[in-house]
Structure 1
């Protein structure tokens, strides 16, 4: 059985939780907020001998104790990285931090490398795919430094204990997949997950390249796979993911070739075989609409079925490292923030916090079943591509809102439908991206 360590979900419990060694003795924090329904702030799970998954709210990363020291993937955020460092020390108190690896450049996964470096007192090398280097250098975000070394197709670390593979464009153009041969274990972020619909309208997903990337993943001989979001899976999980996207493409392609509009396609392509998948009610229609836009932009229905969607369209996504999605699990451009604070407030409480100059004031309007409020630019410079996400204690993510630039001193309205969700607490954050040069 995998060993786990968890913390409380509030800011107070975060401090206490960092001192509590679960499964190793001692009692969990007894703060009054321990009874909240919010999920644990973080959790460390041993997924193979010497290999650990670290979860921070809704994001997962991985670190491995190798013969050359600890190799740590995605720091996630500044706040997460501080706890991540504590967990690495707890698990491997005598090991050096040998390397940091970015799965890709999206801020909600890669931010915080300097925190890890400072925690271990070393100038630890950072590895990433070569396509991540230029955008990160241009962004100049001190919390998200560029890699010190890059690779084009494959790279090995710790004498082959870890392999890095580039499988082509998928959720981004710089996605590195890790494989640990001794454990038959892979780590893949954002472009695959376990039985979950693609994020919203698939804006940053590169189709048809996605098919090749997932097929390439299946050529790696893993048996277990850890994802950047959600529970881990196996080879069958990836086969189901590939089948879903193929079925979505086929169904929407038929609709486009039949002359159906985007609205008509959204109403008719129900993907009912996947109604049990996570986010079916939230993202099924958006997936259909996104695929309709991609195929239409590629000329499907007009005799040209081989083109690609203009990835700049709509500018939405769960992890948007390319000016688009979690972009895509959201939208986080290079230099964007893309991280949750981790602090939850009660259902009826008002959120009022400032991050990177963006003051977000937000509250639930029960009458409208929506979170409503404002984002104010408290700086002397324009905040570019600002948008807002809300994360409920149930694990549901709301948003993000459409991107908007906010000039100095200005305030813009924010509204996110709550979708009738039943929850006890929630957290929110604005994301601010780098302005075009």
Structure 2
């Protein structure tokens, strides 16, 4: 009887390995060349190790930043010289003081830096800011930071790491998943325009996002195709006078149904575009649309 119980327990462990071995809370993985990505739950940042020091991006939160700082100290014999914020949102920038106190120069696009200062976010303020473009030469490597205009939050940028040619973007390009829920904090016009700018800009070998999966150029192109299809479907339906409930029920975009969270978040994505077209584009004041918004 005792043997049978032990065998049954072993079978349960085999069927449910997560019960016996929990996923690590934080991980570091090499990406390409001297670029690595750091994962904290559903969040990711990247860092680059050079002979002149280490360049880190979003700290994510204080606990994650402290863990990463400790790991960098034990794995690499280089100081942390720079930390760059991807944008202003607090679910990515908290914990910046961990790196600033270690001597890192804090970098942010000027609108992100302004928002962090104005709203008194409890993180490290920016030491240096830029408008449209900044290039940081770092040993034999370079980081190119570009602002493409509004898209998500304030001051959201792309970061291109050379010579590895890895592109890092947070929130406004997400691969292998639907855009987040009802697009809170997003400018759908800016998301489309900024993604087009990335694809029209310098070639990149690998894309890494702050969420979702890594990918190639064709994955970013498919993401853009989804944004355009979503926008057109909502816009055209509103021009026909359809209500939000009707649009949420009718819009399917079946060619993207393989994306995780498709069924759960597509109606919410529709709602996000609808809200933008009412609040930003004033569709509710259009004399050519016979509808109540």
TM-score by length of 2: 0.86
Contact residue 42 and residue 56 of structure 1 kept, 8 A: yes
2:120 to 140, 143, 164: 140
Task: Give the paired residue count.
Answer: 268
Partner in structure 1 of residue 104 of structure 2: 124
Contact residue 62 and residue 187 of structure 1 kept, 8 A: yes
Structure 2 stretches of 5 or more lacking a match?
1-16
Q: Which has the higher helix share?
A: 2
Q: Provide the rounded CA distance (Å) in 1 between the counterparts of 2:164 and 2:245.
A: 46
Q: Provide the rounded CA distance (Å) in 2 between the counterparts of 1:196 and 1:275.
A: 10
2:235 to 244, 253, 273: 253
- The Cα of 1:195 is off from its aligned counterpart by 2.6
2:73 to 89, 93, 101: 89
- The Cα of 1:175 is off from its aligned counterpart by 0.5
Would you say 1:275 and 2:257 are equivalent positions? Answer: yes
What does residue range 37-436 of structure 1 map to in structure 2 within 5 Å? 38-92=22-76, 94-118=77-101, 122-142=102-122, 144-159=123-138, 161-218=142-199, 219-297=201-279, 298-300=281-283, 302=286
Partner in structure 2 of residue 337 of structure 1: none
TM-score by length of 1: 0.58
Give CA-to-partner distance per residue, 1:268-325, whole Å, 9 cap, x none: 00122111101112211100111122223324482689xxxxxxxxxxxxxxxxxxxx
Q: Larger Cα Rg: Structure 1 or Structure 2? A: 2
Structure 1 stretches of 5 or more lacking a match?
1-32, 306-437
Return structure 1 stretches of 4+ with deviation > 3 angstroms: 33-39
- The Cα of 1:99 is off from its aligned counterpart by 0.5
Aligned-residue Cα RMSD (Å) equals 2.0
Contact residue 81 and residue 103 of structure 2 kept, 8 A: no
- The Cα of 1:53 is off from its aligned counterpart by 0.3
Q: Which has the higher strand share?
A: 1
